[in-house]
Structure 1
Amino acid sequence: MTLSDLSTHHNGKPTQEQSTTSSAQSVKQLTVCTLEEMRRVCVLVCTHFLSALLVLLACYRWKDLLPSYESEGSLWSRSKLSNGTASSVSTTSTATTTFTPTFPPASSSKELDFSAPSLFDPSTVNRVYWMHVPKTGGSIFVAFFFQFCPETLAAERAAIVPGQQINKDHLYDMWLLRHYAPEKWCNNHLTFYNMPCPGCHYPYEERPNEEFFSMTMFRDPTERLWSAYRYGHHGSWQHDSNSTFDEYIREPNIMNCQLKMVLGHHCYKQHRQEIEHMGPLDVSLAIERVSQPRFFFGITERWAESLCLFHRWFGGSVIEDIEFVNNRKGRTQPPGNYRDVVPPHKELEWFEGIMPIFEERLKAANCLGYSPPP
């Protein structure tokens, strides 16, 4: 072995200089390899992202081209408003196409013929979601129940003491469902999806693979807030009976009750974390949801017209001695300036958006301005 060899090796090991050179070369090769792998990964991710984006755009385009669903044998059709163009309800974000029913013409604009064919055959209504919004007039459920379960009305009338009226304490959802099980008393084994507690203020629930009817009443948001305040400060976290109306409505849990329920959230949340988890409220989606052909809603402030609309949808006649009973009359009148303290909120926008839908349905059913005979 030469001196050169001895200077290069020592006990079979490379010198420090050679080790440094070798390490540098390894790092360089590793860096080149890593950069190449990163480039490949980036190209792969971008390719998948663009492919997914193209699929979404294609689906969105086809959604607009496909015809909207209309159930076979129903009387639903796309409505034309007074301007002769397709109806739409505008919000700050998107427009929602409004659907209104087409009824056979009534015999008179003053005397509504409830014997005319209804929009839906009540014998085919076998799945119902009753969405009871707090302080909106839950006694409308009586009309629903007696229409779809007529034997219960006969039983209640048979129990009336001569000379007296029907017991109004029986005229609310919880009592009726406790005493008249739908599977025994109702036609076609009527199913209420939110059993065993349809009156427990459950929010709307989507069931994509099932066909069912949703039924509810809505109310002017400010009127509903005042009623909830007077009814034991409904939903309040403070539980302070001395709090003012202004203090009550500014609790983070109180506003937008109806809007939240239509979107599938409970009216009142128990904790701030639940409110934060709920996210922003989609006004356009809530308007679109209630405009669907199988979503019936009335307006509390227009009770008679709402009852008329219900019977034009599902048959039967207005039962004056029962359906016009107010089980929970307001205990006090609100102060004159109570509306001034309610700040702008999304439910006001939503309520304004659903009123044209309600008006068009009333017109189509010949129920606009309806009042029961004196």
Structure 2
Amino acid sequence: MYRWLIAGFAGAAGNVETCAGTDPWLLQLQLSLDTEPGTELLRRAEPLKFLHIPKCGTSFLNALIHLPGVCPEVDLDYRVDEDYLSKSFERDFWHQCPKVCDESKFTCNSAHNTHEGLGVNFETYKGHLVTMLRQPEQRILSAYHDTRWDHGASRFANASSYAKAVQGLMTCQLMGNKSVDPMPKCEVTEADAHAAARRLREGFVFVGILEEWDLSMCLLHQMLGGPCLYSDFEDDRPSNSSSPDSSYDVTELEGFRDVLDRLVYDEARKIFQEKLVAYNVTAESCAVCRMEAIATGRLEQLHSGDKVRRGASEGVAGHAPLALLLWLSIFSCRAHQR
């Protein structure tokens, strides 16, 4: 996976001073991005099917569509976000999906039903499913405080009454057939929650955890292949005034706990931890993935001139000398351009 990284270090050490299409470092990086193969697991899992649970990471789409061969018409600069598309960027993408993605490798969701229930389609999609989950009370509060999309919250006087109305949403989406945003009338039981948890274990090729976003991205690439990209770590729908990594104050919920979705979420975390161990993904190994993201972000700058919106350079502790070589190579290139 890191052939291009070695070339980057060699370029920095050799004081490469040309770019804009002629720098060997940039050419090697671009070639590796274009030719990086997927894994056997990815090939078996195709066509991938994204189950998008509300407030559980629309940004995950950026990682999925840049997996090797999944969306051939998507280039390095393409992002599912407001800057690249529009305010309704997820719907925009699903409209474009049949044109930019290979439907034998990626199943396009409906642009009019972006949070569809899995329900009776589970057997059809079994073994092809990917998703991200979030701590249930945090998911509820994120939806309640979303000032851009209502999620049905305006019908309720406070966060606790809203929480009671949407409890079990993740269970409902995994087991029911209807769109869950806003939440339909969905009578789910503890037995349904246990069945939903089994579906995660038996039918999903990848289950990520929003609170462990960086590790989720590293695990995804370790399992399915392809380099880590800048857009993997970009939060395209941050939670209003709070930072992407912050938590909501659960006292607003007045003691409410989503017991059913907690069963599902706890199983998701177990699966996630098992996969981290199985694929030897740690915070330390993930730092290399973040360095890839740094490099592709800078390459994107050189190609498009777009302003970098988020600091992908975070999280490379323990690899400072290697990261410094990358930065020196890139900055010497940009200085030469001037």
Q: Which has the higher helix share?
A: 2
Query: Deviations along 1:291-337, whole A, 9 cap, x unmatched?
Result: 126432111111111111111221101102x1111111112453363
Aligned to 1:120: 40
SS state at 2:202 partner:
coil
Q: What is the match of residue 309 of structure 2?
A: none
Pick aligned residue for 1:260 from 153, 172, 176: 172
Residue equivalent to 1:231: 146
* Displacement of 1:145: 1.3
Q: 1:315 aligns with which of 225, 228, 238?
A: 225
Q: Are 1:132 and 2:132 matched, yes or no? A: no
Return the letter of the residue paired with 1:178.
H
Could you say which residue in structure 1 is the equivalent of 2:63?
Answer: 143
| 1:345 aligned onto 2:265 | no
1:175 maps to: 92
192, 196, 215: which one aligns with 2:130? 215
Pick from 201, 207, 214 the counterpart of residue 291 of structure 1: 201
Residue of 260, 266, 272 corresponding to 1:358: 272
- Which protein is richer in strand relative to its size? 1
Specify whether residues 354 and 332 from structure 1 end up closer, same or farther in structure 2 by C-alpha distance, changes over 3 A only.
Answer: same
SS in 1 for 2:66: helix
The higher radius of gyration belongs to 1
Identity %: 18
Q: Deviations over 1:141-196 (max 9, x none)?
A: 12111214353332746x9xxxxx99444795433332342xx543473351x643
**Offset of 1:125 from its aligned partner?**
4.5
Alignment of 1:236-255 (within 5 A): 236=152, 239-240=155-156, 243-251=157-165, 254-255=166-167
Q: What SS does the corresponding residue of 2:281 show, helix, strand or coil?
A: coil
Instruction: Report if aligned partners of 2:47, 2:105 keep a CA contact under 8 Å in 1.
Output: yes
Which residue of 215, 226, 229 maps to 1:305? 215
Structure 1: 5+ residue stretches without partners = 1-113, 160-164
Judged with a 3 Å threshold, the aligned counterparts in structure 2 of structure 1 residues 264 and 177 are, in CA distance, closer, same or farther, namely same
- Using the TM superposition, name which of 206-215 and 304-313 deviates more: 206-215
- Say if 2:331 is the partner of 1:331: no
Query: Residues 315 and 223 (structure 1 numbering): CA distance in 2 closer, same or farther, change over 3 Å?
Result: same
Amino acid at match of 2:91: M
Give unpaired runs (5+ residues) of structure 2.
1-32, 243-247, 292-315, 317-338
CA separation in 2, counterparts of 1:359 and 1:166? 32
- Secondary structure of the 1:138 match is coil
Partner SS for 2:114: coil
What's the offset of the Cα at 1:226?
Answer: 0.5
Partners of 1:123 and 1:353 in 2: CA distance: 26
Question: Normalised by the size of structure 2, how large is the TM-score?
Answer: 0.60
CA distance, structure 1, for counterparts of residue 234 and residue 207 of structure 2? 19
RMSD between superposed Cα atoms in Å: 3.6
TM-score (norm 1): 0.55
Deviation at 1:124, TM superposition (A): 5.0
Cα distance between partner residues in 1 of 2:227 and 2:207: 18
Partner of 1:368: 282
1: CA distance, partners of 2:113 / 2:84: 17
Work out the number of aligned pairs and report it. 244
